[in-house]
Amino acid sequence: MQIVQVAIYTVAFIVAFAYAGYAVMKFWKLAKLGQPHEIKSTFGHKVKNVFINVLLQKKLMKHPVRGLMHVFIFYGFIVYGGHTTSQLIGGFFGPFQMPLVGTTGYEFYIPDLVEKVIPHFAFIYNYALDVFSVLVLAGLAFFALRRWVYRAYELDRPSGQSMIVIGMISTLMISTLIAEGSHAILTSHTHMSPIRHGMVALLSSWGVTPANAGHWYIGGWWTHILTVFAFMMFVPNSKHAHLIWAPVNFWFEKETPKGQLSYLDTENAKVWGAANVQDFTWKDHLNGLSCIECGRCTIECPANRTGKQLNPKSIMVDLKHALMEHMGAVKEAKKAGKSDEEIATMPELRVIDNYTSQESLWACTTCYACVEACPVGNNQVDAILGMRRALVLSEGTLPGELQTALTNMENQSNPWGVGSHKREEWADGLNIKTMAKWAEAGEKPDVLFWVGCAGAFDDRNKKIAQTMAGLMNKADVKFGILGTEENCTGDSARRAGNEYLFQTLAGMNIQTMNNYGVQKIVTSCPHCFNTLKNEYPQMGGNYEVEHHTTFLDKLVKAKKLEVDPTKAANLGAVTYHDSCYLGRYNDVYDAPRAIIEKATGGRVVEAVDNKTRGLCCGAGGAQMWKEEEKPRGAEVLKAEGITAERVNIKRTKQLIATEAKTFASACPFCITMVADGVKALEKEESVKTLDVAEILAQTVR
């Protein structure tokens, strides 16, 4: 009998490991058929990233309750690692002994070798095993209730895969509790946890005695081990493959700045953007395989929260399904000798339209909330921008209003289409020297003030540029501007998918600044700040770049600008709206708040969504220059409990709810969008919308 059991076990072991290995390698090879992608990260960064996000589960804890329940399950798996490994090894010996962490005496009892060497180790381990068995079951119950009872809208229902996995993990826990309880009865063990004492009492009430406990143990053992094998074979082909791919995904996460999009070699690239499954990079496909389909990205997405078609989770899931369903056809076509051009015309390979709608792609504000929220390290923004590039560069397809803005940028170097010769007019009468004038005088300023298109052409934001210049003059900062030599940084062009226009604008700006020997730049626009700081180095533009909030904060701390306490009371309470490109992309949260606190005497109130979870104003990702996409169907939104509205209206309502009398921001796009929201909600008489620099200017001596 023993030989038969060992033989059955050996066959099952070989089949399970062979199939699981085959499935994992199959998907890895399919993912690697994607476009090349260089991962710029050090070994230390890789180790740190895996340690923080996998072992410490950092990103999951952004939602404490859900995070804690997942921690129970995750660490339950780690604790079970020793137990299951012992059982896997023990299966090759009779009578099914566990040589590493315990004994399984069936026909006879073998003393625990580990316990002889390390006293009480087995008790401590088994105590942890019992505790985590219960905690894992609690976590599974929580997620089952959330999916099928509370019915969280971001989760897909019904989900057969989730039901199978929850059932298998529950079986692993319960079979272990039964087997270990039976083992305790078999060996008359008394030194055990309260949980195992409880199992012994329960099993005894079911008629388990030392005479038949061995059969109960073996039944539990087989149930556990066969469930492990079934789990191994099921997971690689399911959405729960994140157990395999998420650590790999974190290992290959880039170390380059969050705000830096990938560089496209417009001269030599074989593929401009990603329209078909084979056009995406292998890292994009790894993201898709890693997706757990939890919906954390979706519930943070400002477009989805206001009823638009975009669902960041679907972007990843669609990419995964496209890989699984059609990348094999690419592999076969390559084997058959088809050219890349022929493969590109195969209609079934197209991801845009077949899987992801164009409306979804154009609804994205590139706010990075989805990336920030994702617990497995996915970058939905990269995939979306890849598809935008394909639409714009390869197919010439984009919203009409956005095309107008891009044409204006090409012809007049700004999205408004105002004559580029007027870029310097905002500074009339302020005695501000251009870099050209500094050069004529044989001098060089300490700082280049990058005004940006909004500061130069938008009437509201001209006042902010003038205020900033006034503060620098008060602080005796030696600065200059480029004037008519300044072009748009190209941020909106790049986020709209027009990489060619971005590189053209960036190249001209870099050449101009390098000619003047620019070393340090200060700008009031987070979009300009992010582009100059994080993306211009891709093209040889390496500068020290500061946003005006951090620059002003340093001036205040150095007492070059001093706040008059008697003026602070005039502002009342202030709430600060975080710009996505300043906050989530560049982690600047403290400086603007420090300035406001100093200027108001500490009267700062936070909106419901703030800092890393700040809600976008709706203007990023080139949305500033186009109408918002149409909402999903009314019945769908009603079922999801979502109100169809503009993103800036939703955000403005959050700011109004703070009851602050001043709304502060540090971004020209945000100023415009929030001010429009205030006007639409008829709050202009009771609320002021100010830039952080304007707040400081009102209270400075």
Q: Give tens-digit pLDDT for 283-309.
A: 999 999 999 998 999 999 999 999 999
pLDDT at 101 over 50: no
**What does the pLDDT average to over 185-205?**
87
Least confident window among 4-8, 104-108, 413-417: 104-108
- The confidence band for 415, taking pLDDT boundaries of 50, 70 and 90, is very high
pLDDT at 102 over 60: no
pLDDT at 152 over 90: no
The tokens describing 245, both together, are 């791919």
- The confidence band for 2, taking pLDDT boundaries of 50, 70 and 90, is confident
Q: What is the pLDDT of residue 106?
A: 35
Q: What is the pLDDT of residue 372?
A: 95
**What does the pLDDT average to over 147-155?**
81
Q: What is the pTM of this model?
A: 0.91
Distance CA 321, CA 284 (A): 13
Distance CA 481, CA 448 (A): 6
Share the mean pLDDT of the chain.
Answer: 91
Q: What is the pLDDT of residue 111?
A: 45
Contact 367, 620 (CB under 8 A): yes
**What does the pLDDT average to over 617-637?**
93
Task: Tell me how crowded residue 228 is: count the other CB atoms within 10 A of its CB.
Answer: 21
Contact 430, 469 (CB under 8 A): yes
**What does the pLDDT average to over 8-20?**
94
- The confidence band for 147, taking pLDDT boundaries of 50, 70 and 90, is confident
**What does the pLDDT average to over 406-426?**
95
Q: What is the pLDDT of residue 436?
A: 96
**pLDDT, greater one: 186 or 613:** 613
Q: What is the pLDDT of residue 186?
A: 84
**What does the pLDDT average to over 2-17?**
88
Distance CA 124, CA 163 (A): 32
The tokens describing 471, both together, are 């503060």
% of the chain residues with pLDDT over 90: 75
pLDDT at 29 over 90: yes
The tokens describing 58, both together, are 């950092």
**What does the pLDDT average to over 47-55?**
93
pLDDT at 95 over 90: no
Domains of the chain (ranges plus CATH)? Answer: 43-237 (no CATH), 277-397 (1.10.1060), 565-699 (3.40.50)
Least confident window among 306-310, 345-349, 481-485: 345-349
Distance of CA 306 to the CA centre of its chain: 19
Q: What is the pLDDT of residue 115?
A: 47
Upstream peptide bond of 95 is cis (omega within 30 degrees of 0): yes
